[in-house]
A and B are shown apart, each in its own frame.
Chain A
Amino acid sequence: MPLDRHRPPVRLHWELARRGFRRYAAYPGATIAGLFTNTFFGLLIAYVLLAVYETRVEVGGYDVVEAVTYVWLGQGLLSVVASFGPTWSELALRIRSGDIATDLQRPLDLQAAGLAQDAGRAFYQLLFRALPPFVVGGLVFEITLPDDPMRWLAFALSVVLAVAVSFAIRFLVNLWAFWLLDYRGSLALAMATTSLLSGMVVPLVYFPGGLADVVRALPFASMLQAPIDVFLGEELGGSTLVVLALQLLWAVLLLGLGRALLAAGTRKLVVQGG
């Protein structure tokens, strides 16, 4: 089935994004619990890094204040770039159950619609999950903020690109279900890779020597390490533009790969009962 048979208007995607937002806004209890967990983990990781700086003034280019800022920014952005959660397997479950056939009959582009909904989700998480832990972290520990308004702008752009790359990666992982009967093992591996290589458990700049530069250039780094580096002014290659361009490149490449894979999966699709 051709994917681009209908070009839906912008209005449709706006409505999808609003519903993505409202879907998460419908569960304030889950938001509060998530906030509590993010803040608690933020405290734990911050204390571990403080212990690292007992014997060092600077590690991987970060001083202690930058490292603590990294932790709180990271805990805040975790849910924005959906490091965990149902979006890693929602589509996969529909592929397995065969519901995907209904999705494909709808007159909309599955990937674009998914991206629009995810943008709404990310905006909700940014307001209600990212900001509060960062404020708490700033009250309990010493953190640093950019003074240059341009840097805030670049950071905002970097977060948008981070969500796009994150969506592209999750979309690809979901599509594996077209080929794998049991995708849960590979899903766990994909999430493990993402959590280590996005900079979620430990800043990528702490990796030894040349390895740090390699992992910082991979698409996973675009999800978390990249926006934080833009915020701190500690970018790979010393340039904000390089980081943003790299994020854009990964977003375009991986979204393109997702389209190709979706087309291939759709061709392969056989739904029980015709």
Chain B
Amino acid sequence: MGDLAGIYARLIGARVRSQLEYRASLALQFVGMAVLTGIDFVAILVLFENVDALDGWRLEEIALLYGIATISFALSDLAVGHLDLFPQMIRDGTFDQILVRPLPSLLQVVASDFSLRRLGKALQGLAVLVFALTQLELDWTAGKVFVLVAAVIAGTVIYAAVWVALATVAFWIVDAIEFVNAFTYGGSYLSQYPITIFGRWLRGLVLFVLPLAFVAYFPALVILDRESGLALPAELGYLTSLVAAGTALVAVSAWNGAVRHYRSAGG
């Protein structure tokens, strides 16, 4: 396990160094990414030109959700976002080359890219989070600080696990695999808002199937001392790390199971 982490760090280190060779280009893409993804928050600001609260959540409270969700998503995008290109590896047979190397296939696929420009989105999310924390007059406790920090880490793991689990579908369907975007990018959008505004089946989906409600909603309930408004208690916000660990376990098992059933197109 420690060996694998070392190998991953070396592979990623090489990718980072090669991107740092083109600093001006990287800086432009970084800024472009921050602005492009910042549009989502501008949209929220426009909505709040017309209302004081969304389902009882004020702007700075929504900004807290948005900050946690956006940073987590950006970090998971950095780590595994290139899984969007994984179906192409199945289609053109490059995944077969991965299988003959003496390293776990998921590690190799995940280490195949590390686009630093994706951090532009994290920076933008961090700016909104800082705005939220300065506007909200919070009674900070050690528990709340823990929940906030754990939320960003657990959120990153949950998004990444959802991405991996859904990418395994590409072992069976290569053609329509872009449907995964609905849940990854859609999941990022959804977590920016209180879960309670969405319809019943959508709430069920993000509570029990793809546990996206644990990325930002439950942690924010704890930090803001709010009632959950759902069948589950707000205190679950303390347990996001457990949910993340469970989700990651399911995702890795799904991947390994799928690889065992994989039959190359090349026979």
Contacts and interface: CB of A to CB of B under 8 A. Distances in A.
Interface of A: 27-30, 32-34, 36-37, 40-41, 43-44, 47-48, 50-52, 54-56, 59-60, 182, 184-189, 191-192, 195-196, 201-202, 206-208
Given A29-B174, A33-B181, A37-B181, 19 more contacts: A29-B173, A32-B176, A33-B175, A33-B176, A33-B179, A36-B176, A41-B186, A43-B198, A47-B202, A55-B51, A59-B50, A185-B29, A186-B32, A192-B39, A196-B43, A201-B39, A201-B40, A201-B43, A207-B49
B205 to A, nearest CB: 10
Interface string B152-177: 00000000000000000000011111
A52 B199 CA distance: 15
A30 B181 CA distance: 12
A186 B25 CA distance: 11
A189 B32 contact: yes
Nearest to A49: B47
A185 B28 contact: yes
Nearest to A59: B50
10 contacts: A33-B178, A40-B182, A43-B199, A52-B54, A54-B55, A185-B25, A188-B32, A192-B36, A192-B38, A201-B39
A54 B32 CA distance: 35
Name the residue in B52, B54, B176, B202 with the highest tally of chain A Cβ atoms < 10 Å from its Cβ: B176
A44 B69 CA distance: 16
Interface string B197-214: 111001000000000000
Given A37-B181, A185-B25, A206 B50 contact: yes
Contacts of B24: 182
B189 interface: yes
Nearest to A55: B51
A192 B181 CA distance: 18
B189 A29 contact: no
Contacts of A36: 176, 179, 182
Interface residues of B, number: 42
Contacts of A55: 51-53
Interface in B178-232: 178-179, 181-183, 185-186, 189-190, 193, 197-199, 202
Nearest to B120: A188
Interface string B2-46: 000000000000000000000011001101110110111011001
Given A33-B179, A37-B178, A37-B181, A48 B46 contact: no
Contacts of B42: 196, 201
A67 B5 CA distance: 50
A60 B178 CA distance: 35
Contacts of A60: 50
Contacts of A189: 32, 35-36
Interface in B40-73: 40, 42-43, 46-47, 49-55
A215 B186 CA distance: 26
A30 B179 CA distance: 8
Contacts of B183: 40
Contacts of A51: 54-55, 193, 197
B55 A188 contact: no
Residue among B33, B193, B197 having the largest count of chain A Cβ atoms under 10 Å:
B197
A169 B229 CA distance: 45
Nearest to A47: B198
B30 to A, nearest CB: 8
B45 to A, nearest CB: 9
Contacts of B32: 184-189, 192
Contact of A188 (B33, B46, B51, B175): B33
Contacts of A41: 182, 186, 189
Contacts of B54: 48, 51-52
B163 to A, nearest CB: 15
Contacts of B28: 182, 184-186
Given A32-B179, A48-B54, A192-B39, A206 B47 contact: yes
A54 B196 CA distance: 13
Contact of B49 (A30, A192, A208): A208
A44 B186 CA distance: 8
B42 to A, nearest CB: 6
Nearest to A27: B175
Contacts of A40: 182-183, 186
A47 B197 contact: yes
Contacts of B49: 206-208
Contacts of B38: 192
A135 B55 CA distance: 28
Given A47-B202, A188-B35, A182 B178 contact: no
A44 B190 contact: yes
Nearest to A197: B39
Contacts of B198: 43-44, 47
